[in-house]
Amino acid sequence: MTLLTTWPDSGPAAVVRRTSDPGEIAAALAPLGVRYEQWPVRDDVPPGADPDTVMEAYREEIDKLNAEEGFATVDVVALHPGDEPGWAEKVRAAREKFLAEHTHEDDDEVRFFVSGAGVFYLHVDGEVHAVYCEKGDLLGVPKGTTHWFDMGTRPSFTAIRFFHEEDGWVGTFTGSPIAERFPDFDTLHAGYLRDAA
């Protein structure tokens, strides 16, 4: 269940909007220039599938989107709980980087969730829109949009990333501590599980 929650950017005391309806989510995000759509879920692609398997499974959708947008690079990123040395530190460092509010001045941030979940927080026009994405969701955040991303303290996701620029992910950080005022992934995920039960 995808979930959109909108609050005033002063804090989460009042909810402006909360919906899990895909049509309502797309309609609410469209005026912000944010692309939201759902692709068919390939249940035969396991969470730990290698990048070639993931790319091949979604080749038709990737090619269609690439024909529309003309991306320079398409790749797969995956982060799943592991026991290898340094895993917890790797996760902590990555999470801190993405939790900091930032923009991308030269490229959109386009992600398709193959498995798992993550939350994009869009800070636009005095509001914060938390988009809880799960497998099957594609979100396109336009360049210049102030946002942050949370994957939780024990991330588990595989995503296809689309870049117009060869440089890939390049963030310009605002220095704002705003992310600290809003419910994080773990909090939203716990609510998601309660709602789905």
189 is in an annotated binding site: no
Tokens at 49, concatenated:
């599938």
Q: Say whether 147 counts as a known binding-site residue.
A: yes
Q: Which H or E run includes 88? A: helix 87-99
Q: Is 104 flagged in the annotation as binding?
A: yes
Cβ-Cβ contacts under 8 Å for 162 (sequence gap 6 or more): 65, 66, 69, 71, 73, 74, 108, 110, 111, 112, 140
The SS3 of residue 147 is: strand
Residue 50 to residue 76: CA distance in whole angstroms? 9
C-alpha of 148 from chain center: 9
Q: How far is CA 139 from CA 10, 92, 122, 197, in A?
A: 25, 24, 11, 25
Continuous segment of H or E residues that includes residue 151 = none
Q: Where are the alpha helices (DSSP H) in 30-58?
A: 51-57
Q: Is 102 annotated as a binding residue?
A: yes
Binding residues for Fe(2+): 102, 104, 109, 147
Binding-site residues from annotation? 102, 104, 109, 147
Annotated binding residues for Ni(2+), written as ranges, equal 102, 104, 109, 147
